[in-house]
């Protein structure tokens, strides 16, 4: 008898993006998603379409290249960019995500 178990690690050279969603009193969890829906475009589209109730963080990883990182700031900028292009406000369910991760260049006035 072997103790082999199937791997959940992608087998080809693909970058995978996963999202942490906050379910309020039920806590936070990584959102379960089909393998073919872990690309960045699908995650961002899902965020804009309201598939995630209160997104907290997006993490990207590529096991073939040996890296992983929090891509939440990049995602926040892309969400803002898409809303600006469409001339729409950021959806209410994404405002908290953008507040946490969007770091705009803000010029501060110096008091003399």
Range of the domain at 47: 16-101
The verdict on pTM exceeding 0.85 is: no
Span 28-43, average pLDDT: 90
Residue 1 lies inside a defined structural domain of this protein: no
Residue 4 lies inside a defined structural domain of this protein: no
The per-residue pLDDT for 13 is 74
Residue 34 lies inside a defined structural domain of this protein: yes
Residue 30 lies inside a defined structural domain of this protein: yes
Beta-bridged to residue 22, according to DSSP, are 28
Report d(CA 103, CA 94) in Å as an integer.
15
Residue 68 lies inside a defined structural domain of this protein: yes
Residue 91 lies inside a defined structural domain of this protein: yes
SS3 assignment, position 35: helix
Domain count across the chain:
1
**Span 36-77, pLDDT tens digits:** 889 999 999 999 999 998 999 999 999 999 999 999 999 999
Residue 93 lies inside a defined structural domain of this protein: yes
């Amino acid at each position: 008898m072997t103790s082999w178990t199937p791997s959940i690690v992608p087998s080809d050279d693909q970058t995978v993006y996963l999202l942490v969603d906050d379910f309020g009193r039920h806590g936070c969890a990584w959102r379960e998603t089909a393998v073919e829906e872990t690309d960045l475009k699908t995650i961002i589209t899902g965020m804009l379409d309201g598939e995630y109730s209160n997104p907290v963080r997006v993490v990207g990883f590529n096991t073939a290249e040996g890296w992983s990182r929090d891509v939440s700031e990049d995602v926040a900028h892309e969400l803002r960019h898409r809303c600006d292009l469409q001339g729409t406000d950021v959806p209410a369910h994404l405002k908290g995500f953008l507040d946490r991760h969007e770091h705009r260049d803000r010029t501060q006035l110096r008091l003399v």
